[in-house]
Structure 1
Amino acid sequence: MRPADRVTTHEWPRSARLDAPHVLERIADITGVRLRLEGPAPGGEVGAAYVRWPDGRRSVLTEGRSRTGPLVDKARAAGVPTARQELAAHVDGARVIVQQRLPGAPPTTVDTALVHQMIAVNDRLAGLLAAEPAPRPTDLYLTGDGPGFCLHEPLARHSERTARLLERIHAIGERHAAMVGDDLVHLDFHPGNVLVDAGRLTGVIDWDGATRGDRHFDLVTLRFMLTGHDPGLVRPIDARLNAISERRRLAYWAHMSLRLVDWSIRHHDDATVTHWLDVAESGLP
């Protein structure tokens, strides 16, 4: 971002990272189970950690919401490799989860084979919640703040360019502010949230935002995150997204624009903000 574009600076609230040693002590106090910390798990904005049970089993400690557990179980039953929850506790007002450690590791590179495997996972989420009672539509937060993410004021005050982006997001939100559907939606579906082993997708992780809606939202997320990479990577995603209306695609893209630019303003540097602004603007009219 050019210095001339900056109109204000502000100390925005930041999300705290997982304090694994403290959490493990509190889990021991609450449950009597003493887990041993092995070290931080790679990736993630809030953090996760590898832990070991007294019997030697290895698991992953992370934060999470209790309501997503049944949704993850549905994904697993549909053939998506997901981790089983092994222990959960409330620590200092947050819910923490110890879950099965799946084989593999986050990919160091993304190729078309991985993209096709991720699209196949997306297909398995189609209609998984059709038999469940339908709650209210999932808010995309295009006209009001989300719960700790998708905040609007950082864009409004950070720079003239981010303020202009926010105006476009608001205009889209006036026409399409929520997501509906019977699919299971991961809500943060990108290569950093999958595990691979020898080129094979072995796990989909970080289901904390899982919800009911339109699985194409996850493909828009994947497309957003891969923008600027080899065009061959995004071509099969674009082919799938041709099946949805422009109005839906724009609403999902606007959500990702708000989410990534807001998070970058509050947690990263200007170069990261500029990168996600470039991506956001590339998909908006």
Structure 2
Amino acid sequence: MNSSPERWPRAERLDAERVAEALYTQTGVRLTVQGPCPGGQVGAAYVRWSDGRRSVLKWRPHSTLADVTAGPLSVADILRSADYPAPETELAVQIGHAVVVVQQLMPGAKIDDLDHRGLEQALALNRLQAGRLADRPDIPPVGLHLSEDGVGYCLHEPLRRHNRRSAALERWITAVGEDSPDQLVGYDAVHYDFHPGNMLADGGVITGVVDWDGAGRGDRRFDLVTLRFGIHAKTCEPGVGKRLDDVLDAVPGDVLRLAWAHMSLRMVDWAIRHFAPTDVEHWLDLAEQRACQ
């Protein structure tokens, strides 16, 4: 089944003109909005500085600058220092309840269909995330929401009510959460939304990984499970899914179970609340491949 990019959970949509005007009022920085970013960059828009340079304007509603700086922005900064293609933050400002961030515009175009070459590069990038936050225990671990709802996503009640399959899946997710911490353990950098829609490439080479809004500390292999769910929503070169499944088979069971439970909850809940019943079945099919293991 080939799902469009709009079938991936997204943040609130950005009113870029209004945000740019508020940014100018508060800081005196004038940015010209050029249009929304495609794919995984919902909540983001292309902007141009007065000197002609182009960047990406993002916003995080109901956030504080201190939290964003201590978490996602720090993770991206640390990885970039290790030659990881994460965008540089050019400006970050608190405006009301939201944080407005202007980031470097990375080269390349978003990946529509992941091929074997792209998968190999994604796996290499994931390995670069290992141990990068060993000196930064202050960076918060990423949450899993296996026992309690997230804020606007990872809701349990929709699964309980939808049908027998989703209710059974929710019981398994809750059982996993009862025996485990509700945060990832570890000192790897975790992107949290590591799927092809958040990857840019040029000439077959990955040139950027964007949308670090949920980044934090934990186990990098969480991102490989996210990637597996991400390619389920798209077409990809034959054999890519099987190859990634083989990689996941080697992940320790306790880590894989936590990550799989989280992504199953995230995607099935979102599909129930936003998409057609056939989409729900699509995500249940994938979730059940490893649920109850």
Q: 1:69 aligns with which of 57, 70, 73?
A: 73
| TM-superposition CA deviations, 1:86-137 (whole Å, max 9, x none) | 1122234111211110100101221010000000000111111112236675
The answer to whether residue 142 in structure 2 is matched with residue 146 in structure 1 is no
Q: Which residue of 2 aligns with 1:253?
A: 260
The answer to whether residue 52 in structure 2 is matched with residue 56 in structure 1 is yes
The answer to whether residue 208 in structure 2 is matched with residue 212 in structure 1 is no
Which residues in structure 2 correspond to 1:217-228 (within 5 Å)? 217-227=222-232
**What runs of 5+ residues in structure 1 fail to find an aligned partner?**
1-13
| TM-superposition CA deviations, 1:234-254 (whole Å, max 9, x none) | 344334333322232121101
Q: Which residue of 1 aligns with 2:5?
A: none
Tell me the distance in 2 between the aligned counterparts of 1:137 and 1:40: 30
Query: How far is 1:278 from its partner?
Result: 1.6
Q: Which residue of 1 aligns with 2:287?
A: 280
Which residues in structure 2 correspond to 1:90-101 (within 5 Å)? 90-101=94-105
Structure-2 change in CA distance of 1:242 and 1:165 (3 Å): closer
Query: How far is 1:81 from its partner?
Result: 0.6
CA contact (8 A) 2:142 2:214 kept: no
Q: Which residue of 1 aligns with 2:38?
A: 42
Tell me the distance in 2 between the aligned counterparts of 1:16 and 1:129: 29
The answer to whether residue 99 in structure 2 is matched with residue 103 in structure 1 is no
Query: How far is 1:284 from its partner?
Result: 1.3
Task: Give 3-state SS (helix, strand or coil) of 2:288's partner.
Answer: helix
Tell me the distance in 1 between the aligned counterparts of 2:287 and 2:174: 14
Equivalent AA in structure 1 for residue 289 of structure 2: S
CA contact (8 A) 1:35 1:51 kept: yes
Return the TM-score normalized by structure 2. 0.86
Tell me the distance in 2 between the aligned counterparts of 1:45 and 1:57: 19
Tell me the distance in 2 between the aligned counterparts of 1:231 and 1:166: 31
Task: Give 3-state SS (helix, strand or coil) of 1:282's partner.
Answer: coil
| TM-superposition CA deviations, 1:219-273 (whole Å, max 9, x none) | 1111222248555213443343333222321211010011111222233333322
Q: CA RMSD of the aligned region, Å?
A: 2.1
Query: How far is 1:156 from its partner?
Result: 2.1
Which residues in structure 2 correspond to 1:18-37 (within 5 Å)? 18-37=14-33
Tell me the distance in 1 between the aligned counterparts of 2:152 and 2:210: 20
Instruction: Percent identity, please.
Output: 50
Q: Which residue of 2 aligns with 1:7?
A: none
Equivalent AA in structure 2 for residue 258 of structure 1: L
CA contact (8 A) 1:142 1:170 kept: yes
Comparing 165-174 and 127-136, the one that deviates more: 127-136
Q: Which residue of 2 aligns with 1:118?
A: 122
Q: Which residue of 2 aligns with 1:264?
A: 271
Question: How many residues are aligned here?
Answer: 272
Task: Give 3-state SS (helix, strand or coil) of 2:109's partner.
Answer: coil
Task: Give 3-state SS (helix, strand or coil) of 1:168's partner.
Answer: helix
Tell me the distance in 2 between the aligned counterparts of 1:70 and 1:95: 15
Which residues in structure 2 correspond to 1:127-138 (within 5 Å)? 127-133=131-137, 138=142
Comparing 270-279 and 216-225, the one that deviates more: 270-279
| TM-superposition CA deviations, 1:130-150 (whole Å, max 9, x none) | 122366754311111123321
The answer to whether residue 165 in structure 2 is matched with residue 161 in structure 1 is yes
**What runs of 5+ residues in structure 2 fail to find an aligned partner?**
1-9, 61-67
CA contact (8 A) 1:152 1:262 kept: yes
